[in-house]
A and B are shown apart, each in its own frame.
Chain A
Amino acid sequence: MNKKNIVFINDDGTVYSFRYEDLLGIKGLGSGVLFCFDSDKHNEIIQIIISVTDHFSFLRDFQDQVNFSKQDFIIVLDSVKDYSFSNYVEKDQNVAFLSIASPTILNGNLNLSIDEDGNLLSAPYNVTAGDVTAVSNLISNNNVTFEGSLIDNSSPDPTAVTDGAGETVAISGKDSAGVVEFTTAGASGSNVTVTYGTASTQTRIPVVSMLGGVDAYLVSYDQTSFTVRVGTTGVVINSKFTYITQDHS
């Protein structure tokens, strides 16, 4: 692993230094680049943005510095000395510093009955996705108990089932598991689409099980729904399949 440090210095003397090994990536924004670094506790992403005249040329210069510079420090911008290793960095600027929560750690809500100081909460605290600081504080203090379910409030909870061939299907169950029943016979090739109540930002991969030799199979899935297609023999009334799918917001 490369042991270099990446350094930014503002004109007031503020120095930001990061290890290359904490670099998650650099976004190219055309007239700017956004460095993304992992934080020490892995619960935040530190972002540094600077202006450049050509992001791709700058990124090439940066990679050359990573590979070939004999210095331990890669000074991306020194506004005190008006210096950068790259001619593509705009002069007379200060870096903008931003920290954001890490990508979703918790998928949904977790009910906690004790706060980080050990006090009993009058009402359970709903930890939402991305609320990582509160959770890490609670766990590190051993002041955490769990109530309720780890099932996400925004879990799939299907709201609609459609059948491409016109048959009617019923649905029961909720959240991330359920049963779909054909209330009329299903013709070969007809599609049954189960639509989740809450769309996800990530693809949900369902596990579908046919009951009693029902001739149907999973054909597609995404963030919002999955589709099962009836096979060549068709399905009879009251045929069923079950599904389990993922909970993530």
Chain B
Amino acid sequence: MAKSLYFSFGSNDALLVPAERVGRIVKSHLANTLNIYIDSASRVGDPQLITLNVPAGKGTEAVRDINNALKNSRDGVIVIADNVSGASLSENIISVATSLNANIYPST
């Protein structure tokens, strides 16, 4: 089954990404954020970055939850974090930290 990850920063600011596009996931030790890098079209350019807020000390658990969902979810659309409804994949993910429209493949 093809799966995609859904992120929503606001009611008109969301993104659905095919799971195949997800590259590395990095938890910074400097902040309670998790960076998900997705494949950019340029192949050699900067990858596109989605930043999530995670609870203190729960970065590893958040990475584990995302990987488990990618592997085991029976839903084609995996809601990672939805700031509008407040839903998230697990208690180890709080919200989307930055605008997706402004940062991912902006039109201008």
Partners in one complex: yes
Residues of A in contact with B (beta carbons under 8 Å apart):
1-2, 20-21, 23-31, 34, 36, 38-39, 42-45, 47, 55-56, 59-60, 62-64, 66-67, 98, 100, 102-105, 132, 202, 219-221, 248
Whether B41 pairs with A67 at a CB distance below 8 angstroms is: no
Residue numbers in B under 8 Å from A30 (CB-CB)? 11-12
Whether B14 pairs with A25 at a CB distance below 8 angstroms is: no
Whether A105 pairs with B45 at a CB distance below 8 angstroms is: yes
Interface residues of B in 35-93 (CB under 8 A from A): 38-49, 76-77
Residue numbers in B under 8 Å from A102 (CB-CB)? 40-42, 45
Chain A min CB distance to B52 (Å): 15
Closest to A30 in B: B12
Residues of B in contact with A (beta carbons under 8 Å apart):
1-4, 6, 8, 11-18, 20-21, 30, 38-49, 76-77, 100-101, 104-108
Chain A min CB distance to B80 (Å): 13
Closest to B7 in A: A28
In the complex, A30 Cα to B20 Cα: how many Å?
25
Residue numbers in A under 8 Å from B47 (CB-CB)? 103
In the complex, A219 Cα to B31 Cα: how many Å?
11
Whether B30 pairs with A220 at a CB distance below 8 angstroms is: yes
Residue numbers in B under 8 Å from A64 (CB-CB)? 76
Chain B min CB distance to A85 (Å): 14
Among A21, A24, A31, the most chain B Cβ lie within 10 Å of the Cβ of A24
Whether A24 pairs with B105 at a CB distance below 8 angstroms is: yes
Residue numbers in B under 8 Å from A20 (CB-CB)? 2, 18
Chain A min CB distance to B28 (Å): 9
Whether A25 pairs with B38 at a CB distance below 8 angstroms is: yes
Known: A55-B14, A63-B2, A63-B4. A25 touches B42 (CB 8 A): no
